[in-house]
Amino acid sequence: MDNLPLEDFSSPSTALQSNLSVTLGGVSKREGNKMGLLSILRKLKSTPDQEVRILLLGLDNGGKTTLLKQLASEDISHITPTQGFNIKSVQSQGFKLNVWDIGGQRKIRPYWRNYFENTDVLIYVIDSADRKRFEETGQELAELLDEEKLSGVPVLIFANKQDLLTAAPASEIAEGLNLHTIRDRMWQIQSCSALTGEGIQEGMNWVCKSVNSKKK
């Protein structure tokens, strides 16, 4: 049920409650995969049946869907551009982690605001090798940080595609986006490669810490 169509964008709450929700029952068996969502969930110490809502955004071709599939321990050999949205929902040990991966094409971005409600963590993915779009991705991130419904929401920025020789380091991206000026929320920039999986675990560990801190 991945890569759902654009016409379903207007009712995110209904979509998750209906059969569009995907439960990855097989992930828990992959104990050796440290990047699995369930291993992340086990680190979240909170009340029973807590839901953690993660919004995964970024420009098109940034690697969001590949990242999501890495987290879910799914095959990443065949990835197609997200024209609508992908949903991954995992339930285990009293936790429910809902990850919304929304397409990043320019025509889709106005629909992002339909998904801001009740977001616990924002994950923003940047193509570190696409320097021509740094200004564009910076503008989109700045607008997200100004959104009232995302006020105070922790943000993790994945500086993706670090496996490419042309990728800018996370420190350069952080400086270019003036991340040091963010004062109203917890934030972190993490180098990663959605293709190899490098850096993803470190980023998600930070997500766990930020959720726990926010709930206290």
Please give the pLDDT value at position 88. 67
Please give the pLDDT value at position 54. 84
Looking up residue 79, the CATH number of its domain turns out to be 3.40.50.300
- Is residue 78 in some structural domain? yes
Please give the pLDDT value at position 15. 39
> Which pTM value belongs to this model?
0.76
SS (H, E, C) the chain: CCCECHHHCCCHHHHHHCCCCCECHHHHHCCCCCCCHHHHHCCCCCCCCEEEEEEEEECCCCCHHHHHHHHCCCCCCCCCCCCCEEEEEEEECCEEEEEEEECCCCCCHHHHHHHCCCCCEEEEEEECCCHHHHHHHHHHHHHHHCCHHHCCCCEEEEEECCCCCCCCCHHHHHHHCCHHHCCCCCEEEEECCCCCCCCHHHHHHHHHHHHHHHHC
Number of domains into which the chain is organized: 1
Please give the pLDDT value at position 216. 62
Q: Which of 105, 139, 190, 201 is catalytic?
A: 105
- Is residue 70 in some structural domain? yes
Where is the binding site for GTP, in residues? Answer: 58-65, 104, 160-163
pLDDT bin (cut points 50, 70, 90) of residue 205 is confident
- Is residue 13 in some structural domain? yes
Where is the binding site, in residues? Answer: 58-65, 82, 104, 160-163
Say whether 91 is catalytic: no
Domain with 20, as residue range(s), is 6-215
- Is residue 1 in some structural domain? no
Where is the binding site for Mg(2+), in residues? Answer: 65, 82
